[in-house]
Amino acid sequence: MDNADLKATARSLVAKGKGILAADESTPTIKKRFDAIQVESTAANRQAYRELLFSAPGIEAFISGVILFDETLRQTAADGTPFTRVLADRGIIPGIKVDRGAKPMAGFPGEKITEGLDGLRERLEEYRQLGARFAKWRAVITIAHTLPSRANIEANAHALARYAALCQEAGLVPIVEPEVLMDGDHDLARCETATARTLQAVFDALFHQRVDLEGMLLKPNMVISGLDCPQQADVESVATRTVNLFGKVVPAAVPGIVFLSGGQSSLVATAHLNAMNAIGRQPWELSFSYGRALQEDTLKTWGGDTARVAEAQNVFLLRSKCNGAARYGEYNAAMENTAT
């Protein structure tokens, strides 16, 4: 895939009215999700749940791409069709999570560094052969009394940039995900400062690693209050502070910003995205790459019961439709009661 193809794929992932489903939960993470609905986390159950999502009627109108986990990329639908082909045949672009997880950073208590660069070039080549057309790498930044440290931000920014360069070499669009975590009691201002520092370091590293910004996407947090902050910012404040900050630190060459939902509920994540798009046209597409915020209601509805697959798919379609409307700033709460 040359630069023109990378750019075209990146633009397709942030097509109007569409966003990305993050279905890349690791085996331990999906086990937690299944435990919550009292479903055993077996390979067969994980396959059945992912097939429920990927085969839901009508989602291609609102879902442009799906981020897969290594296991899922290699799985097939019940009829033997590889999941990558199931998605591609519907016009949905398959992607892959390639980092090896965030681990404690030596010498920096309370902070983490994402691992996975060793052997990444070879893994990317295999993933492309298996049908992936984009990839994702997540770094996590913690806000605490004296955190984040400059060293932690710069180490994660460098890893993100090296990953992105390797992706483009392999013909995969990199989704660069520097997540300033919601964990903590910090207010909007502290989140804004930490996010600004992080994004400035990330784009500096991307420049030095010669990453083509037109052939990548950014997956950041929103500027939002910490989960334990006693005074939670309202939807409009989050939208305004986020868009204003990104206008200062995210180059216009980036085709799109696909926000993560973090610890937000399904409804709040949709409302925030809607409010940002309602502000008006920006240099980049403002889209979504949600995991739990797209799946939580679907999981609860399904509950491992094959008789409820169609009902769960309708729930997933409605959640996708609401976020598709939020891409235009046209979402409203009444849509939540609209039958799909």
Q: Supply the residues annotated as catalytic.
A: 177, 219
What does the alpha-carbon distance between residue 338 and residue 99 come to, in Å, rounded to a whole number? 38
Alpha helix stretches (DSSP H) within 130-172: 150-170
Angle, helices 43-54/292-302, rounded to nearest 10 degrees: 110
- Cα separation, 68 vs 43, in Å, equals 14
Parallel, antiparallel or unpaired: strands 19-23 and 63-68? parallel
The answer to whether the CB of 17 falls within 8 A of the CB of 61 is yes
For residues 131 and 150, what is the distance between their CA atoms, to the nearest angstrom? 37
Tokens describing residue 219: 């997956």
By three-state DSSP, how is residue 331 classified? coil
d(CA 39, CA 24): 18
Tell me which residue has tokens 């159950």. Answer: 45
Half-sphere exposure of 196 (CA within 13 A, CB side): 13
What are the φ/ψ torsions at residue 72 (nearest 5 degrees)?
Answer: -70, -35
Nearest to 67 by CA among 135, 6, 16: 135
